[in-house]
Chains A and B, each alone.
Chain A
């Protein structure tokens, strides 16, 4: 059973507009959530994380929102830039499982100039 799901395989936005990437999870034991970005032929790089005791965390153009009751989180990128075009992975961890990361399938974001 897949505990972290990203239901949108792809998203296309215009430069300067907002990009919203979504992620759903099923395991209520998850206590941290992370977003990674991956360019082709490179490994994933860490973007931002949020603790389950918070509902928002912001870092520059990137903001992550967590809705625990809905088991849903989203990553907002404002304003979007062409260099943001990449695959974005949502990941979650639970202290009870040694805090190992469980990943979603990824969403390909394309930002058009």
Chain B
């Protein structure tokens, strides 16, 4: 049962618009992540957070920003969308501590198309 929710699932917008992709999890996980994925390509980590008021940029440079004001909520914002931002955005969370595999639980994704 998926306990991590992303909205909207699909979004088509014009260039220059500001958009926020919502991500919420009900599992109480400390760690949350945003990945970007294009068809046939690997998932690229663009942002992550290890707790409230903690955010870091990932391995792939992104013009988006994130915030973590509450444990369960990790929204991603694009101030001015461009066609190059067209992609699928996947949110994930985990309760990883310091040992074992870091198993991420993913949301269903938000597919963004910028015209």
Contacts and interface: CB of A to CB of B under 8 A. Distances in A.
Question: Is B one of A's binding partners?
Answer: yes
B105 A32 contact: no
Interface residues of A, number: 27
B22 to A, nearest CB: 14
A101 B2 contact: no
Given A2-B42, A42-B109, A43-B108, A34 B90 contact: no
Contacts of A89: 42-43
B104 interface: yes
Interface string A69-100: 00000000000000000000101010100111
Contacts of B107: 43
Interface stretch (B12-20, B64-72, B74-82, B95-103): B95-103
Interface of B: 2, 4, 6, 9, 33, 35, 40-45, 48, 50, 58-59, 90, 92, 96, 98, 100-109
